[in-house]
């Protein structure tokens, strides 16, 4: 498999490549740090046909290409990563309707920083392996989630959910499926869990989760979680936690965590 990288002014060449149907691309990387690097057409006005692409990563203004991408093979699954350090990188997509950007058959979706703000514009597969949301500060969609009712934002039938930094605050608002392979929460500062600290203990239902990973300040989510009474958890992994990270009540005897059936506990 080949790798295709287009950076800077070369980014505008993507619609002109005419990638053949039989082409197999291991990694497609397109980055445009300035708007002048992009073609002067509106989002979704042209279709960019791709071959069998295993991984797609769009950075900066190159996210503009997302609504145009089409895979020849509907049965081929791709991994899509979007990174938007600045709000203007996704500004032209914000006016699009919710669930209007079709990604095709996708195994994993990873959104970094302001790319999280277009999550609700995406049409995801009914069953996905992984959704990864990582935002360093507050953003439009995260703030919108925080205004929603608890347990009301449906992410779909996913096997693995990863929430990094400020996105951890959205956990109480998410409606997760009854059984999941893994949930990972990583919080590097207090602001990443500030909204969760306001919730009641034993109020966030995870039900059946095989593996739970808590990093840094995410340890403070522990008193808020509830698992299915009859099912245990195969692995609880706690990482990068010290006394500074732990607030009062984290290991209170009154929380549901004290009654969990944990097959394997790993702390590092």
225-257: pLDDT as tens digits: 888 766 678 899 999 998 888 887 787 777 767
What pLDDT sits at residue 142? Answer: 63
DSSP conformation class of 85: S
**Alpha carbon distances (Å) from 13 to 6, 10, 48:** 8, 6, 11
Extents of the domains making up the chain: 2-267
| CA 251/CA 261 separation, integer angstroms | 15
9-68 pLDDT, tens digit each: 999 999 888 888 778 888 999 999 999 999 876 555 578 888 788 899 999 999 999 998
56-75 pLDDT, tens digit each: 999 999 999 999 888 766 66
pTM of the model as a whole: 0.86
């Amino acid at each position: 498999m080949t790798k295709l990288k287009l950076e800077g002014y070369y980014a505008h060449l993507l619609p002109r490549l005419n990638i053949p149907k039989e082409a197999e691309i291991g990694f497609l990387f397109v980055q445009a740090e300035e708007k002048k690097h992009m073609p002067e057409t509106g989002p979704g006005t042209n279709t960019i046909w791709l071959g069998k692409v295993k991984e797609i990563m769009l950075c900066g203004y190159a996210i503009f290409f997302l609504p145009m991408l089409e895979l020849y093979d509907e049965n081929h699954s791709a991994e899509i990563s979007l990174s938007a350090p600045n709000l203007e990188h996704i500004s032209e997509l914000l006016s699009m309707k919710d669930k209007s950007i079709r990604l095709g058959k996708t195994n994993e979706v990873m959104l970094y920083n302001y790319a999280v703000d277009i999550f609700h514009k995406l049409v995801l597969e009914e069953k996905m392996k992984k959704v990864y949301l990582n935002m360093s500060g507050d953003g439009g969609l995260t703030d919108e989630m925080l205004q929603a009712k608890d347990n009301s934002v449906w992410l779909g039938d996913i096997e693995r959910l990863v929430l990094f930094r400020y996105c951890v605050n959205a956990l109480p608002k998410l409606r997760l499926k009854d059984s999941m392979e893994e949930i990972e929460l990583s919080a590097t500062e207090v602001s990443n869990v500030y909204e969760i600290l306001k919730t009641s203990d034993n109020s966030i239902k995870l039900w059946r989760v095989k593996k739970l990973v808590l990093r840094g300040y995410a340890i403070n989510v522990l008193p808020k979680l509830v698992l299915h009474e009859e099912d245990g958890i195969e692995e609880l992994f706690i990482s990068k936690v010290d006394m500074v990270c732990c607030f009062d009540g984290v290991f209170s005897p009154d929380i549901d965590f004290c009654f969990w059936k944990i097959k394997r506990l790993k702390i590092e």
